[in-house]
Chain A
């Protein structure tokens, strides 16, 4: 409650104070408030699809903006393309490249680019554009996350062979080169173009962009691939998943992957709306810092994994969406032959007693920045009480949480990356990247072999062994894998969840009943 106490002779100070306090209130208030396809191939061509995304007011058009909310990914997917799209079977669907070859010892890789590809201004796409993008990503000054995926490259070793051929000379052998350079975030724009031009080669070109509000793109008739049926796609930004969900129910948008999962029962009862679930692609994790007591003892880590009731977590924390996970990273390919871990409180109690950690009390920090995260840790804490373990859940503001990321002994995180992208962080010496500080000699040795071979079958066999080690003595509790849930209007057909994110990025096959 504010009182305006104004009297003669004391006017200035209280007024200054009032405005100052009111401003502080406003700041505080603001701080309190961070596999299927849509069935049917019918629908006529043309029309504007309105897609809802959660986005920041301060997003930009730069294809490599450091700020990445959901609008960034959807916008980029419509206007820009990678060298290839990864497929569920571990293969590649070539996009801006037509093939990649390598020498015998995997130190020299040659990328052949697709001919007759044109940017949205009609100029041809070629080797110079590819080299410019890789140089930008590799430049440490730009602090781009994509560098983590290709930091095995030497910027000086990238050379143009001809207009449609680029050669990469690597300082040391690297097997999964194709996998690394086909990361869906490594996309190509015209060399020398300005970010605000969004000069890509994708199926849609830019019409207008208003930060944090709307991006409008139109069909690019000069597209090299199958041309979209839609005339336009309007990507509408919302601050929260609640707003996006409300807009869907209110028919203000046609589709969104950013919906409030707790609203699914309401959505399923709403006529004219359909729900689409992707393959599982998200693992919410509970990390245990393996170089710090009590988790430097593998028995304590295993005990924690045995305390959690995975079935309860899947049902109650993740609304029954997804599958049980088994304490190893990666998704549905190259799985190890290990039994599904079940809750076993007696064994957990014994392991803790053997480690001299009975009646353990520990803080567990979470930013609750993914659906189900807070509920998951609460379930763990409740189950732990049954064997005398006290887990104090501390929910934190995201900024504060990230500031000490890599330092927390017991914490939550999440993983959406394919295994080959995640392993470099797991073996990294960087305390931030290898946030649970797990250092396993056998795992590292296998990782070395994994990245030295280009043979997919051999990679898969090595992955199975590595996942088995994670299951046996890793430092993460992984209880469930979740899909991305999208909701769309029944007048829309042809929507496909993108692999691996499960989001709605591909609108080339979409049509709408007018």
Chain B
């Protein structure tokens, strides 16, 4: 994963809600909501255009090479794919505006039915991953900053560089071979969550996908935490505290931590957004029954309503986390 956030900019970007601005708050909320809607609309148009631009059509993919031209044409007609593109898009958009995400082109089943449980599973995986990533990043970042330029810090920086530069898919495959199929065989290599069960009822199935997500997340976020801590530790007030002879533990946790955390929190929100996007690879690799693996299938089958629904969900989550980053940045600045 390669993410670069300018957290200082995020902090600066957020307006400080003083008394003079309170009257403008409804307008601000309305403007952001409108921005969100425009964003989602743009996403839907791009996904529609991108799907149409993909080579091959649904009927060919469904029927395979044994289908005659007549059968392909008939299926295209049955699916409504013989209509003009604008008409197809308008049909989809008008359904969405009435709360109907449409039916899968391939199976004919409602998209909401196909995705309901998968959304919950993906949200669970991402939430658990974030709950683990945040404190671990803090701890690792803090230790690396305290032991700056020593063996521990250099080892950590080298390792995190390797992990960040390695694709999630490769890390996942190595973890599967190491702990699931070739070397130790101590963990289930595939995340089989039976339909109807909630993921946390099968903790062993979650270990490997979570391990990869956490490893990738922590190596990224902890570096930001490390940099923030180093900045704070070099600041005049911390240096003064050291000269005054305050205990190191107190300096670190009482004085340095709150200030070091501030720039990292908006970054953590963005991190959460990217974790959602990154779950596509992890779910596919571990056969985890979430929306990520469903998206891979939908793209392969050119199943537009499914693709639209999943991407829109991800876009909403991404947008929300962006807003959260702004709010946290604003609160920090006002503090």
Cα-based distance from A26 to B307 in the complex (angstroms): 10
Those of A369-405 within 8 Å (CB) of chain B: 397-403, 405
Cα-based distance from A249 to B184 in the complex (angstroms): 12
Cα-based distance from A68 to B195 in the complex (angstroms): 21
Contact among A3, A67, A147 with B62 in the assembled complex (CB-CB below 8 Å): A67
**B55 A403 Cβ-Cβ under 8 A:** yes
CB-CB under 8 A from A236, the residues of chain B are 192
CB-CB under 8 A from A148, the residues of chain B are 66, 68
> Chain A CB within 10 Å — which of B188, B284, B292, B296 has the most?
B296
**B315 A23 Cβ-Cβ under 8 A:** yes
Please classify how large the interface on chain A is, using the bins under 10, 10 to 19, 20 to 34, 35 or more: 35 or more
Cα-based distance from A141 to B185 in the complex (angstroms): 51
User: Is A292 part of the binding interface, using a Cβ–Cβ cutoff of 8 Å?
Assistant: no
CB-CB under 8 A from B322, the residues of chain A are 15, 18-19
CB-CB under 8 A from B35, the residues of chain A are 12, 15-16
Q: Mark B263-282, 1 if CB is under 8 A from A, else 0.
A: 00000001001100100110
A430, chain B: closest CB distance, angstroms: 5
CB-CB under 8 A from B287, the residues of chain A are 238-240, 243, 247
**B318 A7 Cβ-Cβ under 8 A:** no
Cα-based distance from A381 to B103 in the complex (angstroms): 44
CB-CB under 8 A from B294, the residues of chain A are 57, 212
**A60 B108 Cβ-Cβ under 8 A:** yes
Total cross-chain contacts (CB, 8 A): 253
Q: Mark A1-27, 1 if CB is under 8 A from B, else 0.
A: 111111110011001101110111111
**A58 B75 Cβ-Cβ under 8 A:** no
Cα-based distance from A6 to B267 in the complex (angstroms): 13
CB-CB under 8 A from A33, the residues of chain B are 280-281, 284, 296
A423, chain B: closest CB distance, angstroms: 13
Contact among B39, B57, B307 with A16 in the assembled complex (CB-CB below 8 Å): B39
Cα-based distance from A449 to B185 in the complex (angstroms): 59
Given contacts A66-B62, A402-B65, contact A143 B75 (CB under 8 A): yes
**A27 B277 Cβ-Cβ under 8 A:** no
Contact among B4, B59, B109, B176 with A211 in the assembled complex (CB-CB below 8 Å): B109
> Chain A CB within 10 Å — which of B38, B188, B297, B298 has the most?
B297
**B55 A213 Cβ-Cβ under 8 A:** no
A262, chain B: closest CB distance, angstroms: 13
User: Is B139 part of the binding interface, using a Cβ–Cβ cutoff of 8 Å?
Assistant: no
User: Is A250 part of the binding interface, using a Cβ–Cβ cutoff of 8 Å?
Assistant: yes
Among B40-48, B85-93, B150-158, B238-246, which stretch is in contact with chain A? B40-48
**B50 A59 Cβ-Cβ under 8 A:** no
Q: Mark A453-479, 1 if CB is under 8 A from B, else 0.
A: 000000000000000000000000000
Among A93-101, A337-345, A431-439, A480-488, which stretch is in contact with chain B? A431-439
**B307 A27 Cβ-Cβ under 8 A:** yes
Cα-based distance from A4 to B297 in the complex (angstroms): 30
**B298 A433 Cβ-Cβ under 8 A:** no
**B108 A213 Cβ-Cβ under 8 A:** no
A407, chain B: closest CB distance, angstroms: 11
User: Is B178 part of the binding interface, using a Cβ–Cβ cutoff of 8 Å?
Assistant: no
**B47 A402 Cβ-Cβ under 8 A:** no
Those of A233-255 within 8 Å (CB) of chain B: 236, 238-240, 243, 246-247, 249-250, 252
Cα-based distance from A18 to B323 in the complex (angstroms): 13
> Chain B CB within 10 Å — which of A31, A252, A402 has the most?
A402
CB-CB under 8 A from A397, the residues of chain B are 55-56
Those of A254-303 within 8 Å (CB) of chain B: 266
**A29 B280 Cβ-Cβ under 8 A:** yes
CB-CB under 8 A from A425, the residues of chain B are 66
Given contacts A145-B71, A266-B181, A433-B68, contact A243 B39 (CB under 8 A): no
> Chain B CB within 10 Å — which of A30, A212, A238, A403 has the most?
A30
Given contacts A7-B13, A30-B280, A250-B189, contact A210 B195 (CB under 8 A): yes
A445, chain B: closest CB distance, angstroms: 23
Given contacts A34-B61, A143-B67, contact A239 B293 (CB under 8 A): yes
B183, chain A: closest CB distance, angstroms: 11
Q: Mark A207-224, 1 if CB is under 8 A from B, else 0.
A: 010111110000000000
CB-CB under 8 A from B61, the residues of chain A are 34, 398-399, 402
CB-CB under 8 A from B117, the residues of chain A are 210
Those of B48-90 within 8 Å (CB) of chain A: 50-51, 54-57, 59-72, 74-75, 78
Those of B285-311 within 8 Å (CB) of chain A: 286-287, 289, 292-303, 306-307, 311
B325's nearest neighbour on chain A, judged by CB, is: A4
User: Is B190 part of the binding interface, using a Cβ–Cβ cutoff of 8 Å?
Assistant: yes
Q: 3 closest Cβ contacts across the A-B interface?
A: A399-B56, A400-B55, A210-B195
Beyond A66-B106, A252-B188, A403-B60, 14 additional pairs, beta carbon < 8 A:
A4-B6, A4-B270, A15-B322, A22-B318, A57-B306, A60-B109, A66-B75, A140-B74, A210-B117, A238-B287, A243-B190, A246-B189, A247-B188, A399-B61
